[in-house]
Structure 1
Amino acid sequence: MFQPPQYFDIPHLDLLSWTLGNTNYDLDKPLFVNARDPIESVSYNQATSYIRKLIAGFRAKGLQSGDSVCLHSFNSVYYSLIYLSVIGFGGRFVGSNPAYTIAELEHLFRITGVSLVLTEPDLLHNVLVAAKVNAIPESKILGFSSSGQPCSTELDSWRSLLQHGEIDWETFDDEERAKGTIVALMSTSGTTGMPKAAEISHYSQVAQSVMLYDSEAKQYPIRRLLCLPQFHAFNAPLAHLAPLREGHTTYVMRRYHPKQYTQFLAQYQITETTMVNPIIFNLLSMPDTEHASLDSLRFVWCGGVTLDASVQNKLSSILNPEAAVAQVWGMTEVGWITTMHYPEKDTTGAVGRLLPNTEAKLLDPIDGTPITQHSTRGEIYIRSPSVMTAYVSNSSATEETIMNGWLRTGDIGYVSEDGKWYVVDRAKELIKVRGWQVSPTEIEACLSTHPKIRDAAVIGVDFGDEKGEVPRGYVVLESSSESKLTNMERELKSYLSGRLANYKALDGGVKIVKSIPRSAAGKILRKVLKEGWRKGMETKRGHVDH
C-alpha cells in the first residue's frame, strides 16, 4: 500500500454550504460567463438568488427529497445552477449526454428513477419517447435554454421555476448525513456493457473540492475556459464548485469547436483549461503561426485517457514555457485521483501523485497478491473520501467494485520510487497474444509517434485460427492524400517492428478511419470498434440474415 504525504480535514458540511461558504471576493464579479456572448454571465450574488428560486420552483413542482432530476443539455452558464439547486431541494442530480439515443436515455431514466427532465428543445424527441417508457408525464418535462429565450411552444420553460419566491437549502454539519446523502447519480462511460450510475455523496463532492488544492495561491490570475461536457464527472470540481467556492471566472463554451476554442483562449487570456485527447491532437496539428493563441495558458488539466510522454511533451512545447501540463487520472466512481500540483511539471508521462487523503495499492491482476515493489505493474485499488457510495440499483456490480473499502479501478499501472503514478492500460482490455499480455495503449502510443498518424486505436481480434487473439489497428491519417491502405499497413508494421516485440505486431490488420470513437471524456470506445469488426467478419462469412 502506498500512502499519501499528507491528510486534510474534510468538512461534513452539505455541499451548498461548502460551495457558497466563501465570500472573500467581489460577489458581483462575473463567475460563469458565456464565451460566445460575454454579456450573459452569472455572479455569486446572482447565483445564490437563482439557486434559492429554483429550489422553491422544484418543490412547487411536487418534488421531494430523494427525487432525481435529469438535465439533458449541452453546456450553459446556468447548468451549474440547476446542478446545485437540485441538490439544494434534497434531490439527486442526473446529467446525460446530449448524444444519447432513445435506448440510452430509457436506460438512464430507469436506473436513476428520474422524476423530472429539463431538456433543450432540439433534443426533445428522444426525451419524450424515453420519458413515456418510464412513465414520466409531459408536465414533468421542461425546456432548457439560455438568455431567457422561449424554449418551445410545446414545453414550459425552466424559468417558470423561478416564479415561486425563494427557499433556502437545508444546512447540516453531520458526518452520517454528509456520507449517506446522495447528491448526484453520475453515469459511467459504459466501456463494457450498459452504463451504470455512481452514487456520489455530499461528503465525496466536498472532498473532491478540498483535495483539488484549488485555493492554493498561484503566480497568475485564474481565468478558465470550459468546453468539456458539464454532465461528466471530470468537470464536476471545476465546473460546478470552484467558480463559486474560489471566485474563479469560468468562460463556458456550449461545446468544443477547434477554431472557437483557440479564439477564446486568446480573447479572454485564459490561464487554465481542461483538455482530452481529441483537443490535444487538434492543437498539435495546427500551424505554428497559431501557437500564439495558447500563450496565456499556465496550467492544463489533461484527462479521459493517459497521454504518452511524447504527446505530453509535444503539447508542452507549443505552450508558454511557464505552463504546466498535468495529467489527471480518475474515473466516475472515484473522482479526481492524481494530478501534478502547481508549479510542478512532468515530462515522463506520469499521471501525477496521490492527492491528500488518498491511498492506493497494487494487486497482481492474475492471482490478487499484493505488489510492494516500485515500478512493478499491477491492478490499482483506491481508498479515498471521494469514492462513490455504490452503483445505484446494482448491488452485484457494487460488490465486484468496492471491496473492504477499496475500489477496484480495473486500471493497470505502477508507481515510481519518487511517488509518481503511471497508468498503462485497462485490465479488461489487455490482449492475450500466445500467452503474452499485450497493452493496446502501448501500441497506440507507438503509432502516435509516426509522422503520418494523427490518432490511433488498437483492439484484440480473434479470427478463430491457430493464431488466437492478435492486435488490430485503426488509424486516422494526418492527410487524406497519404499512401493507399496496403502501403500504409506495410509501412506501419515495419515501423512497429523496430520498436516493439514481434508478438505486439498488428497481425489483425490495419484500417484507416476518419475518426476514432471516443467517450465524452476522450476514452477510446473499443467496444464500438470490436462490434464493427465482428459485423464485418459476419458479412464476409455470409452469416448476416437478409
Structure 2
Amino acid sequence: MCRHKSAFSTRTKSNETNIIKSKSADILIPNQLIHEYVWEHLDKWYHKTAVICFDTTKSYTFGEIYHKSVALAGVLRNKFQLNKGDTVAVVLPNVPDFPIVFLGTIQAGLVVTTVNPYYTPDEIAAQLADSNSKLIFTINELVPVINKCTKILRRSIPTVLASDNVPNECIKLSELCDTRNSEIADFLNPDDVALLPYSSGTTGLSKGVQLTHKNVVSNLYQMSSPDFVVNLETRSNFQDVIPVFLPLFHIYGMVGIFLNFFAKGCKLIMVPTFVGPQFIKILQLYQPTLLFAVPQMIVTILNNPKIKYDNLKSIRTIISAAAPLGASAVDEFNKKCKNRINLLQMYGMTETSPLTLMQTAKLQNGAKVGGSGFVIPNTEVKIISISDNSTALGPNQSGELVVRGPQNMKGYHNNPTATKKTIRNNWLRTGDISYYDEDQHFFITDRLKELIKVKGFQVAPAELEEILKSHPSVEDAAVVGIPHPVQGEAPKAFVVLKKEVRPELLKEFW
C-alpha cells in the first residue's frame, strides 16, 4: 500500500568528538505516510479485534476501522470542504473510536491536533485558536465545555460526536463513517505536517509541535528495530494484548502505544483512567502481555497489596516513561515480581516524535537500574556543557542532552523564535540534564530550568528527592531552590510522611 518507494538512512559523517551514535545498525526507513505504515500488513489481521473499550465492551476489528476511517476521510474533504493542511481538533478520552477519527483525519490530508479533554474551556479555546482548528471531534459529555470554548472564541466550529446520543447542533460520527464516499488523499508528501500536539518544550509556554509524516514514520521504524522491539508477531493464534491507560492525546500514548502497536496487529484495551481496583479487573479479564506505564503507575502496583505477582504474570514486559523511575522503585518491583517481568525505561519528548533512548533486554547492559537506555537507530546524541552550550562532554559528565535524527520535529507552529532556540544546526535541545556511562547507557537526572545553583555548583532537585524518598518515614518529596544570602540559592524540601519523624533526623539523613 506504499506509494512512496524511496527510502532514507540518516547516519551522517562528523568530525565532532563525543557524539554518541546508536549501538544498533541504522535501518532503512521507507518514505511512507503514517497511514501507509499503519495499513501495510492489514491483510494479516483484518478480522482480528483491534480495540475494545473497557467500560462499554464496544469493539472494532482492524478491517472495520480501515473502512470507517477511509469513509470518514472522504466525508471530511467533501462534506466539510476541508483542504489539505487544515487542522482538526480531537478532544477525546481513550475511546475505541479514536483510531477511526485519527486515521480518517490524516487520510484526508488534514492535520490532527490532540487536545487534553480535561483542560478548562480557556485552555482548550487557546489551543483551538492557535491551531486554527476547523472541526472538533469529541463526546457528548464534553459538549458543554466545547460550547464554552466557542463562546470564548466568538466563532462556531462544526462538532462531531463519538457518542450515541447527539444534540441537534452536533453531528454523529457513526453517520459519517457508513457512507460509501471512500477516499484517501493521494496528494500528500511525507514532509507534510500530520500532527500538531502541544508541548511546553524547553521554553515554558505551551506550543504546537509540528510533526511530519516522515518524523512519525521514522520513529515507528526506530521503535521496531530488532534490538528494541518488544511485541511478538501477531499470528492466527496469538495477539499481544495492551491496556491503554496513558492518554492518547499525549505523544506517548498516541505514537508510542497506539500507532506503534496498532500497526502490528496488537489488541488495545481502551481505558480512560488508571485506578487500582480497575487495574486488577483488567488483569483478570484480558491477561495483558505488555504494559506501558508512568512511574506513578509502578508505585501504585507496589503500594497496592491486592496487586500480587500472580495478577501480573501474563505480562512479559512493562515499559515506564515520561519521567525517570527511581532505583528504589525498580528494586522493589523486581522483588515483588520475582525478577520475572522485564521492567524497562525509555526517554523521549513530543519534539522527537517521541522516542530517543530506550532500555532493552536484547543488548548487553541494556537495562541498568535508574537508566533510560541506549540511543535508538538512525539517531545521534551528545551531552553539551551547561556553561558554554557547545562543548560535547565525555562519559559520566552531566550536561544538556541534545538530539539529531529524522524523528526531530519540523518546528513550533507559528513560533519561529522558540524553534530557533530549540533547534540549532539540526540538533534539538531537550532541556534535560543527562549523562552517559562507559557502556553509552544514558541517565536522565533533571530538567535544566529546575537546577539549583549553590555556590556556583549545579544541584539537581531530583537527586535530593530520591535520597529523601529512600528514608523509611518519607512517602514523597519535592525539592526547590530558594534565595540564600551566602550560597546564592539553597535547596528546600517538602515531604509527605508515612509516619512521624523529627525534622532534624531528616536533615541529618539528607
Same fold (TM over 0.5): yes
> CA RMSD, aligned part only?
2.3
From 190, 197, 201, the equivalent of 1:178 is 190
Deviation (angstroms), 1:346: 2.0
**Take 1:29 and 1:227, find their aligned partners in 2: how far apart are those partners?**
21
Specify the alignment match of 1:33 in structure 2. Answer: 52
Q: Secondary structure at the match of 1:28?
A: coil
Deviation at 1:192, TM superposition (A): 5.6
Distance 1:321 1:131, change over 3 A: same
The whole-number CA distance in structure 2 between the counterparts of 1:136 and 1:11 is 41
Residues 184-215 of structure 1 deviation map (CA, whole Å, 9 limit, x = unaligned): 10111468633111001000111111111277
Secondary structure of the 1:437 match is: strand
Identical-pair percentage: 25
Q: Could you tell me how far 1:348 is from its partner in structure 2?
A: 2.5
For the residues of structure 2 that align with 1:63 and 1:197, how far apart are their CA atoms? 20
**Residue 465 (structure 1) shift:** 4.7
Q: 1:49-88, aligned counterparts within 5 Å?
A: 49-59=67-77, 60-88=79-107
Paired residue secondary structure (2:209): strand
In 2, Cα distance between equivalents of 1:200 and 1:436: 37
Say whether 1:142 aligns with 2:135. no
Q: Is the 8 A contact 2:436 2:442 kept in 1?
A: yes
Provide the C-alpha distance between the structure 2 equivalents of 1:458 and 1:383, rounded to a whole number of angstroms.
32
Separation in structure 2 between the aligned mates of residue 488 and residue 86 of structure 1, nearest angstrom: 58
1:509 alignment counterpart: none
The answer to whether 1:255 aligns with 2:278 is no
With normalisation by structure 1, the TM-score equals: 0.83
Quote how far apart the aligned CAs of 1:404 are.
Answer: 0.6
CA contact (8 A) 1:430 1:439 kept: yes
1:89 aligns with 2:108: yes
Contact 1:31/1:243, CA 8 A, preserved across alignment: no
Which residue in the other structure is 1:421 paired with?
A: 442
CA displacement at 1:476 relative to structure 2: 3.3
Amino acid at match of 1:156: I
Per the alignment, residue 354 of structure 1 pairs with: 375
Amino acid at match of 1:19: V
Cα distance in 2 between the residues matched to 1:37 and 1:165: 27
Q: Please, which of 36, 43, 65 is the counterpart of residue 47 of structure 1?
A: 65
AA matched with 2:176: L
Q: SS of the counterpart of 1:333? A: helix
Matched pairs, number: 480
1:104 equivalent in structure 2: 123
Mapping of residues 379-390 of structure 1, within 5 Å: 379-390=400-411
C-alpha contact 1:116 1:136 (8 A) present in aligned 2: no
- In structure 1, runs of 5+ residues without a counterpart are 497-546
Offset of residue 320 of structure 1: 5.4
Q: Displacement of 1:103 after TM fit?
A: 2.3
Corresponding residue number in structure 1 for 2:474: 453
Question: Cα gap change, 1:190/1:109 in structure 2, threshold over 3 Å: closer, same or farther?
Answer: farther
Aligned with residue 293 of structure 1, among 288, 306, 311 = 311
* Structure 2 partner of 1:469: 489
What's 2:507 paired with?
493
Residue-by-residue CA offset, 1:373-401 (whole Å, 9 max, x unaligned): 21111211100111110000000000000
Match of 1:161 among 168, 172, 176: 176
Unaligned runs of 5+ in 2: 1-18
What letter is aligned with 2:199? T
| Contact map agreement 1:294 1:320 (CA 8 A) in 2 | no
Q: Within 2, Cα distance between the matches of 1:197 and 1:53?
A: 28
- CA apart distance, 1:343: 4.4
Summarize deviations over 1:160-182 as a string: whole Å, max 9, x none.
3225423231347x9xx212x01
2:385, 2:393 within 8 Å by CA — same for their partners in 1? no
Out of 202, 207, 214, which is 1:196 matched to? 207
Deviation readout 1:493-540 (Å, 9 max, x if unpaired): 2321xxxxxxxxxxxxxxxxxxxxxxxxxxxxxxxxxxxxxxxxxxxx
Change (3 A) 1:454 1:78: farther
User: Residues 111 and 193 of structure 2 are in contact (CA less than 8 Å); yes or no, is this contact kept in structure 1?
Assistant: yes
Provide TM-score, normalisation by structure 2: 0.88
Indicate yes or no: 2:424 matched with 1:403. Answer: yes
- Cα drift, residue 325 of structure 1: 1.1
Separation (CA, whole Å) in 1 of partners of 2:201 and 2:141: 25
In 1, Cα distance between equivalents of 2:502 and 2:415: 46
In 1, distance between residues paired with 2:319 and 2:369?
Answer: 16
- What SS does the corresponding residue of 1:203 show, helix, strand or coil? helix
Q: Report the alpha carbon displacement of residue 489 of structure 1 after superposing the two structures with TM.
A: 3.5
* Distance in structure 1 (CA, Å) of the matches to 2:422 and 2:239: 40
Kept after mapping to 1: 8 A contact 2:202/2:430: no
| DSSP 3-state at the match of 1:81 | helix
CA distance in structure 2 between the aligned counterparts of 1:453 and 1:295, rounded to whole angstroms: 30
From 287, 301, 320, give the equivalent of 1:283: 301
Q: Deviations over 1:414-462 (max 9, x none)?
A: 1111121111111111011232211011011112212233332222223
- Within 5 A, what are the aligned runs for 1:223-372? 223-287=241-305, 290-319=308-337, 321-334=339-352, 335-343=354-362, 346-372=367-393
Whether the aligned pair in 2 keeps the contact of 1:105 and 1:130 (CA below 8 Å) is yes
Say which SS state the counterpart of residue 242 (structure 2) adopts.
Answer: strand
* CA spacing shift, 1:171–1:342, aligned 2, 3 Å: farther
Query: What is the one-letter code of the residue matched to 1:18?
Result: Y
